Amino acid sequence: RAAGVSPAAPYRHFRDRDALMADVAKRGFEAFTEALSRAWNGGKPKPRAAFERVGRAYLEFAAKEPALFSAMFESGVPIGDYPEVREAGDRAFAVLRDACEAVAATLPKEKRPPSLMMALHIWALSHGIASLFGRGDAARRPIPMAPEDLLEAAVLIYLEGLGVPPDK
């Protein structure tokens, strides 16, 4: 109504709620991919610094676009019915995986973790922190640091544990 249309207006363009939410989620993933790609910037000037920017971009997107973030991850849309949403989400994840591959490449070959495993770990960290702060969980259980600081500390511990050297 605030937009000057009836609540039924979207259904002239979408068959049902799931189709509407799938379109919103796809658009969200496209914007998310752009934000992550901009932050990654091909790993320039240094892979580890660019990698850390990707994490901050994840949190920033979730904070600035909570409705899109919710549509992307919490809408309940059966993703199997909407391959375009799955593909858009896969493109966003590919940015994170590429970043993990570049950071892992700074390690000796025999010490490199699988990039998929590393990407899943970092995604879980980033998404968990974004969700905790985005849903207001931090208000119920005060967290003595900003989400960006929490992610930075977690990523530092993770990368140090893998033996990833600091950027030179």
Reported as a single tens digit per residue, the pLDDT across 137-159 is 656 777 788 999 999 999 999 99
**82-125: per-residue pLDDT in tens?**
999 999 999 999 999 999 999 999 999 999 999 999 999 999 99
Homologous superfamily of domain range 17-162:
Tetracycline Repressor, domain 2 (1.10.357.10)
**Angle in degrees, CA 50, 56, 61, rounded to 5:** 125
Give me the pLDDT at residue 50, please.
96
The alpha-helical segments, DSSP class H, found in 65-146 are 66-74, 83-104, 115-134, 137-140
With cut-offs at 50, 70 and 90, classify the pLDDT of residue 167.
confident
Q: What is the DSSP letter of 4?
A: S
Q: Tell me, what's the pLDDT at 71?
A: 93
In the chain, where the domains are located: 17-162
Tokens at 142, concatenated: 């005060």
The answer, as to whether pTM is greater than 0.85, is yes
Residue 40 has which token pair? 């990654």
What percentage of the chain has pLDDT greater than the value 70?
A: 89
